[in-house]
Amino acid sequence: MQPFTTLTGIAAPLPLANVDTDMIIPARFLKTIARTGLGKSAFANMRYAPDGSEKPDFVLNQEPYRKAEILIAFENFGCGSSREHAPWALLDFGIRCVIAPDFADIFHNNCFKNGILPVRLPHAVCEKLMEDAKLGGNARLTVDLARQVVIRPDGEEISFNVDPLRKHLLLNGLDDIGQTMEHASAIDAFETRKRAAQPWMFGTGTTL
């Protein structure tokens, strides 16, 4: 998993509440178990007309937001079904950070497991950041996870909270498997002791 340290990028304003996972990645795209290739289908019903053409009024179809790495929305982002494809689609599009007043719990957890930083900030602050984002590519936001601040284009720093363990995992690019492998030496030592004490469990003992 790619570490998340400091991100400076284009932010796309999505002034909507209750953006559910079916809006993020419609159910018809859930046939794959691959984490790549879903970016083109992110927000498909909002991005494309029935004939497959782009809807020019949707923010991610506009410049410079086609290259957005930060998404700003309103309350209850990621609600609905617990599909992990939702953060996969955002990440494959290029989104590494979502800023909103709050998130659905399962989506929030899935973001951390896939290298996306969900940042909770008050509604009024999200409105300010959306106004910044509307200025386009010359008004990039910076998200500094180590210092736990969002830096506006004018230099104002806005603090946010994040769970210390999840912060550690993101900073070091550790998913669930990577977190387990941090304890590889202890696991190996346990297996060595277990193999010596109960060799039959490993197929090396005496058979009758």
Of the chain, the percentage scoring pLDDT greater than 70 comes to 90
pLDDT tens, residue by residue, 113-136: 999 999 999 999 999 999 999 998
Greatest alpha-carbon pair distance for the chain in Å reads: 77
Mean pLDDT in residue range 132-158: 95
> Which of 180, 181, 170 lies closest to 3 in space, CA to CA?
170
Rounded to two decimals, the pTM is: 0.86
pLDDT tens, residue by residue, 21-35: 999 999 999 887 777
Q: Are 108 and 118 in contact (CB under 8 A)?
A: yes
Q: Of 94-98, 118-122, 179-183, where does mean pLDDT reach its minimum?
A: 179-183
Q: The domain 4-171: what is its CATH number?
A: 3.20.19.10
Mean pLDDT in residue range 85-101: 97
> Which of 130, 110, 111, 114 lies closest to 10 in space, CA to CA?
130
Exposure string over 52-80, b if 16+ CB within 10 A, otherwise e: eeeeeebbbbeeebeebbbbbbbebbbbb
Mean pLDDT in residue range 105-111: 96
Residue located via tokens 């340290």 = 5
Strand, coil or helix: 182: coil
Joined tokens for residue 66: 């086609």
How far is residue 177's CA from residue 113's CA, in Å, rounded to a whole number?
Answer: 10
Q: How far is CA 202 from the centre of its chain?
A: 40
Sequence ranges of the domains in the chain: 4-171
Please enumerate in sequence order all residues whose Cβ is within 8 A of that of 105, keeping only pairs 6 or more positions apart, or say none: none
